[in-house]
Chain A
Amino acid sequence: MPSRPRRLSVQTKVLLPVITFLVLLPVVVVWIVNGYISRQVHDEAATVLKTADGVFRHLLDNQSNDLLSRYRTTLENRGVVRNGYLDLVGLAATNTAVGANSVRSSLDQQLGGDTVVMLLSLDPATPPIGAKGEVPLELADFARASGGLSRAALRGEGGADWVTLDGMVLNVAALPIAQPDHQVAGALTVGARLGGATMQEFKRLTGAEIVILAGAATAASTLGAPGVALGGLPTDAAQEVVVNGEHYLALRGAYAQEASMGGFRYVLLSSHERSLRTLGDMRRTLAEVSFAGILLSAAVVWFFIRRVIHPLRELRDTAEAVGRGDFSRKIGRLANDECGDLAEAFNGMTTNLQASRAELEKTVETLKATQTQLIQSEKLSAVGQFVAGVAHELNNPLTAVIGFSDLLVQTSTDDKIRLHLERIAKNAHRCHKIVQNLLGFARQHPPERSLVAINGAIDEVLDIMAYDFRTGNVAIVREFQDDLPLILADRHQLQQVFVNILSNARQAIQAVRHDGRIVIRTQLSAALVRIDLIDNGPGVRPEHLSRLFDPFFTTKPIGKGTGLGLSLCYGIVQEHGGTIRAQSELGQGATFVIELPVAPESAQLRDTDAALAPGGRRGGAGRRVLVVDDEEEILALTRELLRADGYEVETASSGEHGVAAVRRTRFDVIVSDWKMPGMNGIQFYEHLLATDRAAASRVCFMTGDVINDSLQEFLRLQGRTCLPKPFSIKDFQDTVADLSERGSG
């Protein structure tokens, strides 16, 4: 597996934010909830404290009132138990020790419970007689502290208040002792200590710890010794404090009754410990649940991502494999979702790619073959050009050889010499034919339809290939039907078809035997001309038979054949509206059958007319002919020929000379070469057109070159004729005779 640049996997990309979110969410939630609950708890505790404060004050008031009521009841009681307070007043008034002791013992007996001190006053001036319980309290201090109340009681107004004294909180009530006539005889002042039991009761009722302060010290407390200076707390605001290692919310207050001289400060404490513990528990539980949730969620997310990623990874691996060219890799397990679709699409793509690639490879191979063919073709084309050039060069000497030999044959009297001359002429003609064929074949032909005699066309091919057959020990058997109708075809294309088939046959035969034989049979069957080409070669394998005409199908070794030959044949025959087919049995040779439609009736007739046109030879006596050619041999030959016909012949070796000659003399016929150095045939003709139109109308051309399209067009437009070199004497004579007759006539 190729190493990839480091990057985050999708798993990480999804997991990270999810986990971050999962972590952040509980953190934020815990933070918010914690804050909220803390606030709530604080508020609740504060509210509780406020309530407790109210209750506490109420309790204090009640306590005061209770004390007051209790003694008021006692004082006013006239029930079964007679109160002896008036007696006590009387005893006190005796101002004796016994009296005072009696009073003291009486008061002492009434002490008990919370009641720790009692005073009996007769009037503000006299010091009161009192008794106290076992408390660290000076009666004098108490008398001073409760003086106001006592004086009020002496005035007949009972009242109660709270005072702090020597580190004690006392509930003080003072009541008048009235005589039956409602005259105040004295006052009873009672001090009840705010004791532990009461404090516990208060604690129970208020639901808060209570610490009562006397100055800086603690007068009473439900907490034991607080150990912390609570006096410094601000009032009217709950505040957290730690007392004896426990958390409390504390509220400080001051208590005093109206018109009081006493009063005290206190601190109510509501335990915060449980709330804090609950809060802590809540936080911990939340954290644990969150942690578990995070783990679970992460696992679930991981699992699902894995499930999603797994096909993707497989897809990636497969894609890589396919990228390397391994088309056999397929994604196996298909999930029933988008991934499955993707995998399916991917598999489809892979298959298509495979097919495309195979096709592409085939195409590339085809292209290579085509290129080879093209190169071959170019080579052939070059050879063709070369051959055309050579042929043209050969034409001129051949014209001279043919012309003079013909001339000699006509003039010779010695039979033996004439026989020899005829041989020369015959072979020169043969050379001419060979050159002509070469030119025709090498030439690039635009497709053109003309009436073609199929036998002649085949003969031409056989002529070209005669050498091949001869050297390959292949005998050609011509079984031609003579009176075949013409067909409308491109002669050269048809000839190419025959060349291809015949050379294939020759090659096939040559490889296996030395007594090759090709039968070429032509016959008319219905409206078709049928050509059978039968060889006795090795035949074609059955499996190859159907592909025989496919392009680039070849059984020849690489470089020997292009596989285009028969394909081309097939294309050509098809274009001509014919059919080509092959029949073969392995070892029994092959037969190619070509059927071509016969040309329509009208075309046959017209051609026949043309063919029948007579070309009589007439005498050229008294007629003047100008021959313009750069070849001295041609000039000599034509001079001889025309003079023999009685013409007056003048020759010019170039266009310029020709022009000069025309200017000098009137000619009945002007024969000009096509290609000449300096002024060529066309220029010469155009010059004549410009200067002597009549002379121009008597011009005829001759050329050793192929008569190409542009020349043909020119000739057609100007109504001129052209003699292809080399020409026979007869052709030349006929042409000149035609022209001279036209010119004169």
Chain B
Amino acid sequence: MPEIKNMTLNFGPQHPAAHGVLRLVLEMDGEVIQRADPHIGLLHRGTEKLAESKPFNQSIGYMDRMDYLSMMCNEHAYVLAIEKLLGVTPPRRAQYIRVMFAEITRILNHVFWLAAHSLDCGAMTVFLYAFREREDLLDCYEAVSGTRMHATYFRPGGVYRDLPDMMPKYQASKWHSQEEVDEHNADRCGSLLDFIEAFTERFPGHVDEYETLLTDNRIWKQRTVGIGMISPERAIQLGFTGCMLRGSGVEWDLRRKQPYEVYSELDFDIPVGKEGDCYDRYLVHIEEMRQSNRIIRQCVEWLRANPGPVIHDDHKISPPRREDMKGDMESLIHHFKLFTEGYCVPAGEVYVPTEHPKGEFGVYLISDGANKPYRLKVRSAAFTHLSGINELVQGHMLADVVAVLSTLDIVFGEVDR
């Protein structure tokens, strides 16, 4: 009888299913996982330490690079923390714009999650479909902030600028005829709000397409039902939030339980799962996309009816208008002070949690009264979710590790910070 020993398998850090740079050391008994030990930190950039060396506003751009699939949601928590310390409330229109973009970001994130999750489980088509929707939403990002990913659009006191009245259009080239281009531009003839509204009209149909491909698919169910199960008690104990917690049947959503911005005025439902396995979490994600779509529609309607300022008018924290600077000495001084020194934030500390697409994204900010944060701590959902992976994969087969990893919705920019 030969002696059989457990095998240690190294997964990653350069592996397409590792969602970035995760090194996972797996102790295997044949095909069965005995223990999983994630090694993280390969993307650690010391963002929190860097933030200590810069004025508050200069770190907003770093927040985009935390979870680079839900950029504006990261900014949101950081900006809310600064506003709380400053005691500033942004204008209503800015709050609606932020909520609308937070929900657009949620769809961006969930669509990508679905794409990657299904690809990891062997379904290629969904991946291609998902990128069709991402393209439209990234165009919204571009129209409003000038960039497709790292927007730096939310600012303490509001947003960088109001929604544009026109969308950029495709142009004919030797590869795309005028007819083709006109078809692409059909939704782009009006304002950004028209474009978003047109998107919300077709999006539920697209979600139906994903569901046709996956929800009753036998292979999909075999790959996800009963995989990575977690009980609600254990999920709470392990610090799980977001879809990971709702998938286990705990109705906990910060947008509803501890509302911030204008979420308390909006109408939406919180989906929950029953079993706490990968399949239930998939259903929760799908329903959340539909709910986000609903929220966006309500925001569009409100924003159409209520024009107004989009940033706080205290020029100690938000820049004055460019035109004013040309003639008004005070505006010029404000501009100079703001962009050289920044603003001082009263001494104190706040923890601001937000319902990020991946779970609770909290920013803990300590200020000693200076123009730079004294300590910034980002509590990312994916970090805690990944810390629980050992319990989720124990006793499963090697191929299920990939399914569990992608159900966790981890992004290394956020895990490693």
Co-complex (A, B): no
